[in-house]
Structure formats: structure tokens, C-alpha cells
Structure 1
Amino acid sequence: MRFKDVFSIIGPAMVGPSSSHTAGAARIGRVGRQLFGRMPKSVEVTFYGSFAATYQGHGTDRAIIGGLLDFTTDDQRLPQSLSLAAEVGMEVTFRSGTGLFPHPNTVKLRLYGDEPEEKLTLIGVSIGGGNIEIVDIDGFSVKLTGTYPTILIRHMDWLGVLANVTEVIRKWEVNIGHMSLDRKQRSGEALTVLELDAAAEHLLLHDLGDLPAVHAVTEINLDAGP
């Protein structure tokens, strides 16, 4: 795990009680919100390991839903997030999962919109001090920490796609701090995750979206306000 600064080690400004079980969970939920692009109509939350054993007492359930409502880790509304979600029509289901999981503090989110095709699945882990890693998005193996501004690009696994992507990034003079890529099969669907040293300009995102073989471009920036 790479730390951006001393506050990444100490933990973020937050509504407690736990940086791992509350702040980290809120950040995972907020990544889900930004990936989905809006508040989901319904969400299924499956907790694993330590999360499954203690999520009610540590407020992990409220933190996850607060993140999906786009609350930051220090938002004073976090303790009331379940009732607030009900007020705005978000249907929430909590489950405790069993079996293999990547970390003791693991959660799987399944988000749904109004239409059948509007759905998203992600798996996130809270690794301490409010720090997180998203390790799976819709079956793609990824590494997304939320520490830096991040771009996710869904595209076909075709020759030259990454070269085109990096050329656009170079043109806009933004440095890539970390890149991960996974694909479903050769020449099939792929997902590239780029952690950047600076937030992406809107026109940079537009240029990436115009590239051949690119289906969708999404920006994650947990430092940005709701």
C-alpha cells in the first residue's frame, strides 16, 4: 500500500468509531456511487470476515450506505444514513457472506438502477487507517485505492488501444502513477484503471471516450466534494 501523506497513515477526518470499519467503508461506498454515476435504486451489501461479524456495532452498514449517498467520511449525517436512504427511496439489503475473501474487512456491493441493464458489482477491502482497495469491478480484477484521481476505461482488448490511451494522457500533460488492466478474454472486453497525479480535465475524458474501441470512461475522485 502506498501512502500519499502522513494523514493517510493516521486516518482521515471522520465520523467514527473506526477508521477501518467506518471511514474505509464510507470510502468504498462512495467509490461505488461515483462508478455508478448516481444514487442506485437498490443495493445488496454482503459483508465478509470481520465486517460480517461486527458491521452493526461498528456502523459499517451505515458507513457503506452513507458513501452511496455521496457522504464523505466526516459527514455528520453518516449515523442517520439508513433512514435517509429510505427517505429517498433506496432499497437496501444486508447479508453476511462465507467462503474465501481477499481481506478480513471485505464487502461486495451489487448496485441496481431502474432498468435491467443498470447494474454494477464491486468488491472492496478496508485495509486500515481509512485506506481502501477496490479489487474487483464487474468481474474484472483491478487495483483501485481512491488515493489519487482515477480514470476507468471500459474498452475492447484490441491492438493499439493502450497506446492510444496513453497518447491522449500525454497530450494533456497528466502523469500516470499506476495502471492496471484486466480482460475477460483475448480480443474481448477489458477494463483499464489509471491512477493519475492530477484530476482529469473534462475534455481529457471526452477525448478518451472518442477513441476507437472505448465504450465508457468514468472518473473517481474521492477528494472532490459531493
Structure 2
Amino acid sequence: MKYNSVFDIIGPVMIGPSSSHTAGAARIGKAARHLLGEEPAWAKIYLYESFAKTYKGHGTDFALAGGLLGFETDDPRMSKALEIAKEKNITIEFIEDTAAADHPNTARLCIGNDHHSIELTGISIGGGKVEITELNGFQLRLSGNHPAILIMHNDRFGAIASVTKILAKNEINIGHMEVNRKDIGKDALMVIEVDQNVDDAIMNELERADHINQIAKIVS
């Protein structure tokens, strides 16, 4: 992969021991929390390849839990995240999955509460960087390093235009955008990385746009 600076190689400021197994795992967990929209009440976390083999020794377990709690990678509470989650009655189950994965540092998180749930697959690609590769059955490519909006919508004429019109009106610049659908005229997912965090007023406006079913955001 391409690194932008020496700090990408060194990795982020973090609670160790590993930028890929700890910091990256925390960012996957935090992305899942953001996409759920609130703190989960439960989580089933499937670990693959290297994550499955070393998750206890490398702190992947407490890092994923810390991310679900909303902790930053350098939060001093990170190493106690599993205990804190237990105190908050959040049930977290780790499952070592023997299935093959495209990347050795892969985790699939099924998280939820009484209101709703999501399923997300993320990979830690090194230096604390991550990619979200699947959300609720939709394939995608989301770095998690930039603010982003994820929009579930009906595959209808005008759905994309209604969203981009609102972003343009509010001077929100799009850095990367992709759209995926399960079938013609069925459910679709819009993934938009933007240059700045989107405030709640704009999110509410987007939610009322034509053909939009559900929205979530990732903040930087």
C-alpha cells in the first residue's frame, strides 16, 4: 500500500502492543459503533486468520471492545475495555472462525441493541489503518480515515441526485463516492467520503430526501 508520510509507517499514537492488531482493531470497532449510531448492548465478533490466532496476546480483543465503547486509540482505558464493557452490561463474544479470509487481519462484527443491529466486516491493513469491506451484505471500500456518510436507499431514479444536491447546498465536498445495489429497483447503499464532519441538521435533511431509508455517519 502507499503511505503518505513517515507517521503512517510508524503508526498512530496508541495503546499497544501492535498498530495493526490493536490500533486497527480499535478503529474497526469504533466504525461499527458509529454505523450503529449508538452504543451496542451486545456484540458477536468473528476473527479470522492472524486475528484469530493472536487476538488475546496482541490486544485485539480489548481494542475491538474499546472501539465499540467509543475510545480513541490512545485512550488510557483501552486495556481495560473488556472490564468496562462488562460493567456496562455489554455482552461481547469472540469467535475464532476457521474460514479463509482475503486478508489475515479480518474481523466481522455483528452488533446491536433493542432498536436495531448491523453486520460489518473490517480489515486492519497496517499502521493503524483500516478498511471496511462489507456492511449488511453490501460490498464496499471505506477507509474509516475520513468523515463519511452511509445511506441505505431504494434503487430509484433521483435518489443519488437528492443527496448530492443537499451536500452541495451545504458546501460539503465529496472526496470519494460509490453506490452498490443488490438488484435493480431493490435496496441500495451509497457510501460518500467527505472533507468535513457532517452535522446533525444536515443528516436530518438527508434522511428526509427522496427514496432514503436509513443513514449513518462516521466522524473523523
Letter aligned with residue 96 of structure 2:
S
Instruction: Find the counterpart in structure 2 of residue 8 from structure 1.
Output: 8
SS in structure 1 opposite 2:164?
Answer: helix
Instruction: Find the counterpart in structure 2 of residue 50 from structure 1.
Output: 50
Instruction: Find the counterpart in structure 2 of residue 128 from structure 1.
Output: 126
Aligned match of 1:148 in 146, 149, 155?
146
C-alpha separation in 1, matches of 2:31 and 2:2: 18
Pairing 1:1-226 to 2, within 5 Å after superposition: 6-115=6-115, 118-221=116-219, 223=220
Contact 1:102 1:125 in 2 (8 A): no
Residues 76-115 of structure 1 deviation map (CA, whole Å, 9 limit, x = unaligned): 1111111111000001111111223121100000112125
C-alpha separation in 2, matches of 1:56 and 1:148: 29
- Residue 8 of structure 1 and its aligned partner are, at CA, apart by 3.4
TM-score by length of 2: 0.95
- Residue 4 of structure 1 and its aligned partner are, at CA, apart by 6.3
- Residue 178 of structure 1 and its aligned partner are, at CA, apart by 0.6
Which runs of structure 1 show a deviation greater than 4 angstroms over 4 or more consecutive aligned residues? 1-6
Letter aligned with residue 12 of structure 1:
P
C-alpha separation in 2, matches of 1:142 and 1:103: 15
C-alpha separation in 2, matches of 1:3 and 1:163: 34
* Identity in percent: 44
Report the aligned-residue RMSD. Answer: 1.4
Return 5+ residue gaps in structure 1 as ranges: none
Return 5+ residue gaps in structure 2 as ranges: none
Contact 2:158 2:210 in 1 (8 A): no
SS in structure 2 opposite 1:122?
Answer: strand
Letter aligned with residue 188 of structure 1:
K
TM-score by length of 1: 0.93
Residues 154-185 of structure 1 deviation map (CA, whole Å, 9 limit, x = unaligned): 11010121122111111111211111211121
Tell me the number of residue pairs that the alignment of Structure 1 and Structure 2 aligns: 220
